[in-house]
Chain A
Amino acid sequence: MNRKIFACIISFLLLIALTIPAVAVEEIETEPEVILFAAPNDGEVILEAPESEAIDEEIPVNEFIPENEFVTEYEFVPDYDVRFYDGIEPEGEYENYTAPVKETKAFSIVRLIVALIIGFLIAFIIMKIVAAPLKSVKSKSDANEYETNKIELTYQNDRFLYRNTQRTPIPKQAPPQKK
C-alpha cells in the first residue's frame, strides 16, 4: 500500500518538475535584453558581430560629454562582442547596468533530490510535533508549582568586567563582468 503511494508521489513530482520549468524559461526569454553601460568619452566603442551578422559600423562617442564621465548608452545585441577600441577598460563602477538573464535549466535532478530531502525533513518535523502528545510521562525539573511567594532579592550587583570589539571588513562590490 505504502509503495503504491510513494510511486504515485514520485511520478507526480517528476511530471511537475518536467513541465513547469519549461514554461518559466519561455517567459524569461521573451524579455527584451537591453544592457546599459558606460564608456569613456575619449575612446571609441566598436560592436563586433559574427560574420553572418557583421556590422561594420563605428559608433561615435557622444562629443558633448565632458572628459572622464561614463554616460553613453548602447543597445546591446546578444552574441555581439563589445570591446573598447584602445583595449583599456574604463575605471570606476558601472552605473545603470543590467546583468544578462541567466539561462534556466528545464529540469534538474539535483534540484529534485534536494527538494525531496528538504521536504522530508519538513514532513518529519511536523509529524514529530503531531506525535509528541503521545508521550505524556515526563519528569519535572522544577518546583515552580510549590512556590509560596515571589523571589525576594536580598542583594544585587552588576559589575563590568571587560569589553571586546571585533572589526570585520565590508566586502566591496566587484564591477560587473563584460561579455
Chain B
Amino acid sequence: MAELLEYKCPCCGGAVEFDSTTQKMKCPYCDAEFDVDALTANGEEKQDCAEWNADTVSMSDEEAGGMRIYKCQSCGGEVVGDEATGAAECPYCGNPVVMQGQFAGELKPDVIIPFKLDKNAAKEALKKHISTKKLIPKIFKDENHIDEIKGIYVPYWLFDCTAEGEAVFKGEKVRTWSDRDFNYKETSVYRIERNGRLSFAALPVDGSSKMADDLMESIEPFDISQGVDFNTAYLSGYLADKYDVSSDESINRANERIKSSLNSALYSTVSGYSSVDTQNIYMELRDAGCRYALYPVWILNTSWNGNKYTFAMNGQTGKIVGDLPMDKSAFGKWVGILTAAAGVGVYLIMTALNLL
C-alpha cells in the first residue's frame, strides 16, 4: 500500500489545508495559520519517521486496472486513486491527503500557481454565469444545484521558445477604370515573402487525459508571474493529478498554436494589397524548452433533465466557462415573433418597391 502525506496542525493535530484567501496553511479546527515553508519543514520531519505500510490486499495488475490504494494516516481507511492521482480526500474522515511519490524526483512540477479563489467564489461565479445569459430554461435556473464542486491542480506543460518563420503570401492589387464602351479590371499579382521571429513564454498544454482539452483552453490565460516553486503543502485540501499525457505528446498542440500566431504576426506586416492569401509558412523553433506546472482549476458539476453539465473556473483569475442548456420553446417563440415582425417589414418594403 502506497504512502500518504498529511499535514497536521502542530497545535491540535488536525489536518491543515492550504487557504487561498490568506495564502497560508490553515487548521480548520483551531484556525491556526502557518507559513507553507514552516509547515513543510515540520512535515518533512514526520516523513522521515513514517513507516512503509505493506499492502495487505493482494490484487493482480489486471484486477487493479491502474488503481492504487493508499492508507489514511489519520483513520486507517483506504483511499483509492488511480495512477495519476496526486492529492485527494479520505472518504472516511474527510482529511486532505497527498500521495507521496507522485510529485517527487522527475515528476516534481517546476512551478505551481496556488489557488487564489475559494469555493464560495466559484459558486458565485457559476451563479453569475447562469444569471446573465438569455434563453436558459427557467427551471434550470431555479432548480439548478451544484452536484459536485472540487478544486483541482491540473497538470500542464508550459512551452517556451522563439519561433522563426518564413512565410510566403500571394497578394493582389486591383485597379478599375472605364471608358465609353468597357469597364476594365486590372489585377496585379505579387509574391510576398516575410521572415521573422517571435518569442513565446509559458504556453500551456493540458497534461491530463481526464480533463477536456477545449475546457482547459477556454479558461486561459493563467498568469505565470504569480507562480511559485512547487511544494506539496499547496495541494493539501485540493485534488491533484500528475500528468498522464507526456510532453512529447503535447508538443504538436503547442506547435499548432505557435504556428497560427506566427502566421498572423507575419500576415499583419503585409499592407497595400486588395487581398492577401497565405501560400506557405515554414517554422523553426529556437531555444525551445518545456516546464511542468500545476494550475488551479475549480470544476463544478451540475445535472438537469438527465444531462450533466460541467463548468470550469480558473482558480487564479476567476474566468468561468461551461456550455449551458437552451430553452428550445423560448427560442422557437422568439423566432416566431421576430419572423412576424421582420416579415411585415419585408412585405411593406416589397410592396413599396412593387416587387413580385
Contact = CB atoms under 8 A, between A and B. Distances in A.
A150 B350 CA distance: 52
Contacts of B213: 139
Interface string A132-166: 01111111111111111111111111111111111
Interface string A106-146: 00101110111011101110110011011111111111111
A119 B200 contact: no
A145 B136 contact: no
A142 B343 contact: no
Interface in B301-356: 321-326, 329, 331-348, 350-352, 354-356
A123 B346 CA distance: 12
A130 to B, nearest CB: 6
A167 B260 CA distance: 38
B183 interface: yes
Nearest to A168: B183
A104 B203 contact: no
B224 to A, nearest CB: 9
Interface string B254-268: 101110111011101
A123 B264 contact: no
Interface stretch (B36-44, B46-54, B75-83, B188-196): B188-196
B63 interface: no
Interface string B211-228: 011110110110000000
Nearest to B310: A137
A23 to B, nearest CB: 10
A35 interface: no
Nearest to B258: A143
Interface string B110-151: 000000000000000000000001111000000000000000
A166 B351 contact: no
A142 B134 contact: no
Nearest to B356: A111
Interface residues of B, number: 83
Given A136-B218, A168-B185, A119 B345 contact: yes
A166 to B, nearest CB: 5
Interface in A1-41: 2, 5-6, 9, 12-13, 16-17, 20-21, 24
B187 interface: yes
Contact of B196 (A122, A153, A167): A153
Interface residues of A, number: 68
- Identify whether the interface residues of B are mostly helix, strand, loop, or mixed: mixed
A158 B220 contact: no
A148 to B, nearest CB: 4
A137 B339 contact: no
B226 to A, nearest CB: 15
Contact of A141 (B134, B260, B356): B260
B187 A6 contact: no
Contacts of A152: 196-198
Given A16-B344, A147-B199, A163 B186 contact: yes
Given A17-B347, A143-B203, A148-B201, A158 B342 contact: no
B171 interface: yes
A131 B326 contact: yes
B193 A157 contact: yes
A159 B180 CA distance: 34
A17 B346 CA distance: 11
A139 B253 CA distance: 11
A170 interface: yes
Contact of B136 (A124, A134, A157, A169): A134
Given A12-B340, A127-B331, A156-B269, A134 B189 contact: no
A140 B258 CA distance: 11
A12 B341 CA distance: 10
Contacts of A142: 257, 260-261, 264
A151 B268 contact: yes
Question: Which of B258, B336, B352: most chain A CB closer than 10 A?
Answer: B336
A91 B202 CA distance: 79
A123 B190 contact: no
Contact of A164 (B189, B217, B323): B189
Nearest to B193: A157
11 contacts: A13-B344, A111-B347, A114-B346, A114-B356, A115-B347, A150-B265, A152-B198, A154-B164, A158-B191, A165-B187, A170-B178
Interface of A: 2, 5-6, 9, 12-13, 16-17, 20-21, 24, 102, 104, 108, 110-112, 114-116, 118-120, 122-124, 126-127, 130-131, 133-170
Q: Which 10 A-B pairs give the minimum distances between C-beta atoms? A: A119-B343, A123-B338, A119-B342, A115-B347, A151-B265, A155-B195, A9-B340, A143-B257, A115-B346, A122-B342
